[in-house]
Amino acid sequence: MWVNYCTILYSENSNNVSVTCAKRHLTAIPDDIPGNAVSLNLSSNDISNISRMDLRGLSKLEALYVKNNWILQIDDGTFADVVELKVLDLGENLLTALTKNMFQGLSKLETLSLDNNIISFISPVVFQPLVILRLVDLSNNYLHQISDIDYIVKLPTLQHLIITHNNFTSFQSNDLHVNTSNLLTLSLDSVKKFSITRDIFPHLQSLDLRGWSKDIEWEVSNKTFLRSLTRLHMSETSLSFDVYRAILQTAYSLQEFQMDNIQKWIDDGLIDVACQIPSLRTVDVRNSEIHTIKEHMLQSCSNLIELNLSFNNIKSMADNALQSMTQLRSLILQNNKLSELPVAVQGLTTLEVYDLSSNDISELYCPYFWNLTSLTILDLSHNQISYISDCVFQNVNNLKILNLENNQIMSFIDTFKDKLQTLEFLNLRNIDIMNFIHGDFRSLSSLQYLCIDLDKCYSVDEGGFEGLDNLQILYLLGDNYFYDHFSGLSNLSTLILNVVQSQSHNSSEQRDSSSLVVLTLLASFIYHFLRSHLTYAYYLFLAFLYDNKRRKKGIPHSYDAFVSYNVHDEAWVCGELLPELEGQQGWRLCLHHRDFEPGKPIVENITDAIYNSRKTICVISPNYLQSEWCSKEIQMASYRLFDEHKDVLIMVFLEDIPANQLSPYYQIRSLVKRSSYLSWPQAGQHTGVFWQKIRQALEREENPAEHT
């Protein structure tokens, strides 16, 4: 429904509505906004001022987005009627001052975004009405003195403060007239002096100091003043080694330390200094041009559980470089220059996750994984592996996920024989396998998902998939398969065929029709074993043909994302996700209740929605998992994920769901890059970070293997 250039989104479970007027070239707020609106999005318009009359009668409004306008003036008392407002976004405007009564009446406001304005003055009493405010974003403004935020820090409920990119020259506790702050996270830009001489931040957990300059003076007179600090993130800084040491010595409770683009002090032992903090459990050092992991570089890191050294240029590792890491569970060495597996890793009996993707590994020999008895996830994709010894996987009895995609493997003679009985996911896409011998997969009795490339395979023995008794999803690339190959797959629920184009020996004409030939050959098998999924498989096949033609012609996507959700979660989608992503961030979303074509078969609508969108956002809840159509949507989206090998699937969990309820999604979720797996409950009150992560996931276009 439309009202004066705005779209009204109704919820099935309540009388409340969400109204979006984003990008409508409005110069004023429409005067006919329904009184039952709970969300109003006015972002990206030409509004220059807001008066009290503009919001009169909107007593149910909970979220107001006026980002990216030309607002110079907000009259005192403007928000007096919107007493239920929880979220107010005034970012990217032209506000110069926060006046005395600007926020009068907003006693229920929790999140306030004022980023990217030109604010240089804040009234000492402007925040007094905001008695439950939890997050304030004042980044990219013109504040000069830390005393300007004095009255914000005093708010007893404030937990998250972002003040990066202002004109502060120092951050000193003596400039803040507060005894104790309940602040949990602080993002602070480069200052010349950081001084905490009073115990005013006893609850501070996270400190973001990215982009600090080299001439900072760091003073924390008593290290107990930062006793709750568990996370520190620094990047692209030119701080001296002594300043780094001073910072780390005052963070004795640190659990997670992330450093990006820090090349200068790695060889001098910066990581080792950090690891001397007994509580440290995670070290993340990316993009820092590390070439060699030397013997003593990590010697103090005995308590680490997670180590991420991805996106460096690591070519070698000393044999005893990880000797002290007796508790390490996750090791990420993705996107480096390793030509062989490091000997140093062989003794890590506690290791559960091992990522070696996008390196230069060519051969796998017996001892590499023998002692990794706890390993559950192994990623060797995007290497140059051409040889695998038959005893490589002999002792990895707990492995559940194995990714061998994009390698040069030509055969699996005894590779899996009597091994990997617990393996659930196996990715063999884009390898050079020449033939599959009867019994190659016989031991993989727990396998549930298999992606395999038969494009270069000249023969598959009858019963080549024998032993895969629990296989549920089989994804085949190429056209080299026949009915007999699938005998014994009684539990298969989904068969995905990606038939590649080929050339005849006698003609250069492309054989698009080969897809139809193969489908005909397999029709009896599909009907016999997958009769309930016949329509779905047919549309998957059409989706492949449709997407293949679309990509050939260079047809752009119509939407940024298709949102897959259950009707019981519509209130959250319309009240939270839609205003943020379409309004505040400006994405174009496809929703079934407004964008599906009436009269069109539902599966065809789903297919069109997924392939007309750059990405798919799955809003997962218990109701979602129980829905047949939601199951089709996520399976089709995951098919596209593995077909295109791009990060096209974003999972958002609305609730904390036990692992035993997530099958078969658990295996798929494990393959999605970590920034694309999001939890709404974990976001808590700090939803700004949650939405920023979705923005980052939607912006990414690269191959997942390039940035996981």
**pLDDT given at position 514:** 41
**What average pLDDT score do residues 241-253 get?**
90
- The span from the CA of 43 to the CA of 479, in Å, is 50
602-611 helix and 628-644 helix, angle to the nearest 10 degrees = 30
**End-to-end alpha carbon distance in the chain:** 41
Give tens-digit pLDDT for 332-388.
999 999 999 999 999 899 999 999 999 999 999 888 898 899 999 999 999 999 999
Number of domains forming the structure of the chain = 1
Angle at 14 between CA 9 and CA 19, to 5 degrees: 25
Give tens-digit pLDDT for 321-342.
999 999 999 999 999 999 999 9
Higher pLDDT, 492 or 590: 590
Q: How many CA atoms lie within 13 A of 512 on its CB side?
A: 8
Q: Would you say residue 652 lies in a domain? A: yes
Using an 8 Å Cβ cutoff, are 696 and 673 in contact? no
| Percentage above 70 pLDDT, the chain | 77
- The span from the CA of 131 to the CA of 110, in Å, is 9
**What average pLDDT score do residues 483-488 get?**
61
Out of 267-271, 303-307, 515-519, least confident range? 515-519
**pLDDT given at position 666:** 44
Using an 8 Å Cβ cutoff, are 328 and 348 in contact? yes
Helix (H, G, I), strand (E, B) or coil at 318: coil
Residue 400 confidence (pLDDT) above 70: yes
**pLDDT given at position 278:** 94
Q: Would you say residue 676 lies in a domain? A: yes
Q: Would you say residue 693 lies in a domain? A: yes
Residue 165 confidence (pLDDT) above 70: yes
The partner residues of 17 in beta bridges, in order of sequence, read 10, 37
Give tens-digit pLDDT for 568-580.
777 788 778 888 8
Residue 62 confidence (pLDDT) above 80: yes
Domain that holds residue 590: 556-706
CATH of the domain at 605: 3.40.50.10140
**pLDDT given at position 557:** 78
**pLDDT given at position 646:** 63
- The span from the CA of 551 to the CA of 574, in Å, is 31
DSSP 8-state class, residue 478: S
Residue 460 confidence (pLDDT) above 60: yes
**pLDDT given at position 491:** 75
Mean pLDDT of the chain: 81
pLDDT band for position 8 (cuts 50, 70, 90): confident
| Residues in the chain, overall count | 708
Sign of the CA dihedral with 28 first, then 29, 30, and 32 last: negative
Give tens-digit pLDDT for 38-60.
999 999 999 999 998 999 999 99
**pLDDT given at position 2:** 46
- The span from the CA of 137 to the CA of 158, in Å, is 11
Residue 689 confidence (pLDDT) above 80: no
Is 154 exposed, middle or buried, given 0-12, 13-18 or 19+ CB atoms closer than 10 A? middle
- The span from the CA of 682 to the CA of 112, in Å, is 20
- The span from the CA of 226 to the CA of 196, in Å, is 9
Using an 8 Å Cβ cutoff, are 399 and 420 in contact? yes
Sign of the CA dihedral with 568 first, then 572, 578, and 579 last: positive
**pLDDT given at position 262:** 79
**What average pLDDT score do residues 523-549 get?**
47
Residue 645 confidence (pLDDT) above 70: no
CA dihedral of 529, 533, 538, 541, whole degrees rounded to 10:
-80
Q: Would you say residue 327 lies in a domain? A: no
Residue 156 confidence (pLDDT) above 80: yes
Peptide bond into 664 cis (omega under 30): yes
- The span from the CA of 231 to the CA of 47, in Å, is 40
String of DSSP letters for 380-430? --SS---EE-TTTTSS-TT--EEE--SS-----TTTSTT--TT--EEEETT
Is 158 exposed, middle or buried, given 0-12, 13-18 or 19+ CB atoms closer than 10 A? buried
Q: Would you say residue 406 lies in a domain? A: no
**pLDDT given at position 503:** 39
- The span from the CA of 108 to the CA of 132, in Å, is 6
Integer-rounded Cα radius of gyration of the chain: 28
Is 524 exposed, middle or buried, given 0-12, 13-18 or 19+ CB atoms closer than 10 A? exposed
523-530 helix and 514-521 helix, angle to the nearest 10 degrees = 50
**What average pLDDT score do residues 402-412 get?**
89
**What average pLDDT score do residues 473-501 get?**
65
**pLDDT given at position 630:** 64
Sign of the CA dihedral with 184 first, then 185, 189, and 191 last: positive
Q: Would you say residue 599 lies in a domain? A: yes
**pLDDT given at position 524:** 41
Give tens-digit pLDDT for 94-103.
999 999 999 9
**What average pLDDT score do residues 467-490 get?**
71
Using an 8 Å Cβ cutoff, are 104 and 123 in contact? no
Q: Would you say residue 573 lies in a domain? A: yes
Residue 77 confidence (pLDDT) above 70: yes
**What average pLDDT score do residues 288-298 get?**
91
Higher pLDDT, 259 or 479: 259
Helix (H, G, I), strand (E, B) or coil at 497: strand
State the amino acid at position 495 in one-letter form: L
Q: Would you say residue 666 lies in a domain? A: yes
**pLDDT given at position 702:** 46
- The span from the CA of 469 to the CA of 448, in Å, is 9
pLDDT band for position 705 (cuts 50, 70, 90): very low
Cβ neighbours, 10 Å, residue 656:
9
Using an 8 Å Cβ cutoff, are 188 and 207 in contact? yes
Higher pLDDT, 549 or 234: 234
**What average pLDDT score do residues 233-237 get?**
76
